[in-house]
Amino acid sequence: MKNNILTMAFILLATNLVNSQKAELPDALQKKWWKEAVVYQIYPRSFKDSNGDGVGDLKGIISKLDYVKSLGVDAVWLNPIYASPNDDNGYDISNYREIMKDFGTMEDFDVMLKEMHKRGIKLIMDLVVNHSSDENKWFQESRKSRDNKYRDYYHWWPAEKGKPPYRWSFFDVNSNAWKFDAQTNSYYLHYFSEKQPDLNWENPKLRQEVYAIMKFWLDKGIDGFRMDAFQFISKDNTFPDLPKEIVNTPAAIIKYYLNGPHLHDYIQEMNKEVLSKYPNAMTVAEGAGDSPEAAMKFVDPDRKELNIAYHFESVDVGKHLKDFGLVKYKSIFSKYDDKFEDKGWLSIFLANHDQPRMVSKFGNDTPQFRELSSKMLSTFVLTMRGTPFYYNGDELGMDNIRFDSIEDYQDVDTRNKYIGIKNKGGDLNAFLAIQKQSSRENSRTPFQWNTEKNAGFTTAKPWLKVNPNYKTINAEAQEKDPNSVLNYFRKLVKLRKQEPALVYGKYTLLDKENPNVFAYTRELNGKKILVLLNFSEKNAPYNIKIPIAKSKIILGNYKIKKINILQPYEAQIIELK
Ligand code: GLC
């Protein structure tokens, strides 16, 4: 009896001790799989074609899962694979519970998910519910009559009220988000292309539809969502007039289009109704407002919304590192990290399907420096605090294709802007020159597997031209080379997985004003790692007051090191003793 009481007392004491330790751990240090994960983004249209139609597909992805596994990544984020007429490559969904015909069938999806899970790879799906396709049944019904039961699933403006107050659109030829629809003598709203009508989140029925879709996929076993254009979902449905002089500026877009009146109410409702029932699901909203404070609102654990903030400041900063400079670039990451030091969680990314290639924007894609700077940038993504979202092909150092002619572009963004400029008699050559650097198509060219026809992506004519440099830049060649960009990436992923300091460790920026070197430490439980990155094509000195004589370089992209100086695009990861 006495023994039992003693045992019970001991258990109680031990549990309290564990709980109080847990309670003391700040949110940022609490372990979660999605903090430790390396996410690999696959653009399905361009990854691997299995059936010879020139378009990548699910069976193609399945055939390459061993490759994905070999990278060491933990999760795959797939761009939309739902039924879609493809006005915006799947970001215009006509049926949320079906697979796009180009990509395969639901059976293929089930096999793909099973095969991923078998390999320990989680699947994050794109959730595109700011808008649907105009070919979605909801919209087809909605446009039929003003009293159709789906009418309020979208935003309509009756024409008898006059022209609706101007709203800007990303992809519309005339940048006008209102499109007249004669059938009901009304305008509908589309922040993206006219084939992407915006859904009306102010309608509770629509929100319930979205929650049901989310449950449908989570119940199938997927591991989370990347939420497309999520900052736009809530709108002021009275559509007040906007001050004329600012309607087209980025400031206005942020002020009037992002963070609508009920955005966070809806995310909290979604959390309550769906996400709280799937506590292991990863959730990341695309875009996170215009400041670290706004980003925190999405992921502050006390607010019960989402997991990971994916802000745009570090990619929207400019077209090329040369234009904005490293000092500014560093300050953005530090500013966000500062706010997120104790709670919330960030993502780290340099590229995705809406951006040019990482090496062409932040590195140097000339033959002399392409490999070195790709490795240096990968070092950055894999050693920063935040979950790395790494875009397919960057592990090979794939670079911008830089199309010469508008005919080569398939992207609704580039094509419609081109028409808009042409209609206004604008400078088309200047526009095309900018697209060579910044167009989204640069990152969407087919994955370069080998030296076979079309880089081994397809046996047919590919939907988008393959970068001709595939003869030298391809996965097969890099497999064989222990010093390739690919094998360096694998080492980085392995290191991050082995070293908790690289995941949870405190980030401290050093040598802040250095215009060429990004230097920082990551520190956890007495372990301190120094990361030195030269973002320039010259030898770069640095000024760091930490004695590094006894330290050990764990990984770097040069064989021979120089003292106190980093060679062009050099990266070093150093364990400090
Ligand atoms: C997001 C997607 C982009 C798409 C847009 C409209 O920004 O990442 O590719 O065009 O939303 O859905």
Q: Find tokens 């607010």 and name the residue.
A: 303
Alpha-carbon span 439 to 239, nearest angstrom:
31
pLDDT digits (tens, 9 = 90+) for 448-473: 999 999 999 999 999 999 999 999 99
77 in a domain, yes or no? yes
Please state the rounded mean pLDDT for residues 524-528. 95
The pLDDT, as a whole number, for residue 550 is 81
Q: Mark whether 240 and 255 lie in a shared domain.
A: yes
Q: Mark whether 383 and 373 lie in a shared domain.
A: yes
Predicted confidence band at 8 (pLDDT cuts at 50, 70, 90)? low
pLDDT digits (tens, 9 = 90+) for 405-427: 999 999 999 999 999 999 999 99
Task: Point out the ligand 1 atom lying closest to the alpha carbon of residue 412.
Answer: 10
The pLDDT, as a whole number, for residue 18 is 46
The pLDDT, as a whole number, for residue 177 is 94
Mutate to test the pocket of ligand 1, among 87, 133, 233, 354 (most ligand atoms within 8 A of CB): 354
The pLDDT, as a whole number, for residue 460 is 98
Please state the rounded mean pLDDT for residues 177-194. 97
Which amino acid, one-letter code, is at 555?
Answer: L
- In short, whether 129's Cβ falls inside 6 Å of ligand 1 is no
Q: Mark whether 117 and 13 lie in a shared domain.
A: no
- In short, whether 223's Cβ falls inside 6 Å of ligand 1 is no
Lowest mean pLDDT among 133-137, 312-316, 461-465: 312-316
Instruction: Check whether 369 has a pLDDT greater than 90.
Output: yes
- Concerning whether 160 is annotated as a catalytic residue, the answer is no
The pLDDT, as a whole number, for residue 65 is 98
pLDDT above 90 covers a percentage of the chain that reads: 88
Mutate to test the pocket of ligand 1, among 228, 233, 286, 417 (most ligand atoms within 8 A of CB): 228
Q: Going by CA atoms, what residue is nearest to atom 2 of ligand 1?
A: 228
DSSP 243-254: PGGGTTSHHHII
- In short, whether 354's Cβ falls inside 6 Å of ligand 1 is yes
More confident: 168 or 398: 398
Alpha-carbon span 272 to 473, nearest angstrom:
47
- The tally of domains found in the chain comes to 4
Q: Mark whether 42 and 25 lie in a shared domain.
A: no
Q: Going by CA atoms, what residue is nearest to atom 9 of ligand 1?
A: 354
- In short, whether 88's Cβ falls inside 6 Å of ligand 1 is yes
Look up residue 254 and give its two tokens: 């942020």
Q: Mark whether 395 and 526 lie in a shared domain.
A: no
* Ligand 1 centre distance from Cα of residue 335 (Å): 26
Instruction: Check whether 370 has a pLDDT greater than 70.
Output: yes
Catalytic residue among 172, 228, 371, 441: 228
Look up residue 69 and give its two tokens: 């596994």
- In short, whether 229's Cβ falls inside 6 Å of ligand 1 is yes
41 in a domain, yes or no? yes
Task: Point out the ligand 1 atom lying closest to the alpha carbon of residue 171.
Answer: 10
Closest CA to 80 of 64, 67, 92, 63: 92
Helix (H, G, I), strand (E, B) or coil at 465: coil
The mean of the pLDDT values for the chain is: 94
Q: Going by CA atoms, what residue is nearest to atom 4 of ligand 1?
A: 91
Lowest mean pLDDT among 153-167, 447-461, 548-562: 548-562
Instruction: Check whether 2 has a pLDDT greater than 80.
Output: no
Q: b or e along 131-152 (b: 16 or more beta carbons within 10 Å of the residue's beta carbon)? A: bbbbbbebbeebbeeeeeebbb
* Number of other residues whose CB lies within 10 A of the CB of residue 106: 12
Alpha-carbon span 395 to 350, nearest angstrom:
12
- In short, whether 227's Cβ falls inside 6 Å of ligand 1 is no
- In short, whether 285's Cβ falls inside 6 Å of ligand 1 is no
52 in a domain, yes or no? yes
500 in a domain, yes or no? no
501 in a domain, yes or no? no
Lowest mean pLDDT among 27-31, 137-141, 287-291, 391-395: 287-291
Q: Mark whether 67 and 22 lie in a shared domain.
A: no
Contact 370, 467 (CB under 8 A): no
Instruction: Check whether 52 has a pLDDT greater than 80.
Output: yes
Please state the rounded mean pLDDT for residues 324-348. 98
Please state the rounded mean pLDDT for residues 73-77. 98
Mutate to test the pocket of ligand 1, among 79, 86, 91 (most ligand atoms within 8 A of CB): 91
The pLDDT, as a whole number, for residue 1 is 45
Task: Point out the ligand 1 atom lying closest to the alpha carbon of residue 352.
Answer: 8
Please state the rounded mean pLDDT for residues 342-349. 98
Q: Mark whether 255 and 395 lie in a shared domain.
A: yes
Q: Mark whether 441 and 295 lie in a shared domain.
A: yes
Predicted confidence band at 17 (pLDDT cuts at 50, 70, 90)? very low
H or E element: which one contains 509? strand 506-510
Distance of CA 365 to the CA centre of its chain: 22
Mutate to test the pocket of ligand 1, among 92, 134, 192, 413 (most ligand atoms within 8 A of CB): 192
Q: Mark whether 124 and 252 lie in a shared domain.
A: yes
Q: Mark whether 445 and 464 lie in a shared domain.
A: yes
Instruction: Check whether 545 has a pLDDT greater than 80.
Output: yes
Q: Mark whether 539 and 410 lie in a shared domain.
A: no
Look up residue 510 and give its two tokens: 């050093």
The pLDDT, as a whole number, for residue 247 is 59
Instruction: Check whether 33 has a pLDDT greater than 50.
Output: yes
Q: Mark whether 355 and 440 lie in a shared domain.
A: yes
Predicted confidence band at 233 (pLDDT cuts at 50, 70, 90)? very high
- In short, whether 128's Cβ falls inside 6 Å of ligand 1 is yes
CATH number, residue 104 = 3.20.20.80
H or E element: which one contains 126? strand 122-127
Contact 164, 197 (CB under 8 A): no
Q: Going by CA atoms, what residue is nearest to atom 11 of ligand 1?
A: 229
pLDDT digits (tens, 9 = 90+) for 245-299: 665 665 676 677 777 899 999 999 999 999 999 999 999 999 998 899 999 999 9
Q: Residue 511: give the domain boundaries.
A: 506-575
- In short, whether 91's Cβ falls inside 6 Å of ligand 1 is yes
- Concerning whether 302 is annotated as a catalytic residue, the answer is no
- In short, whether 43's Cβ falls inside 6 Å of ligand 1 is no
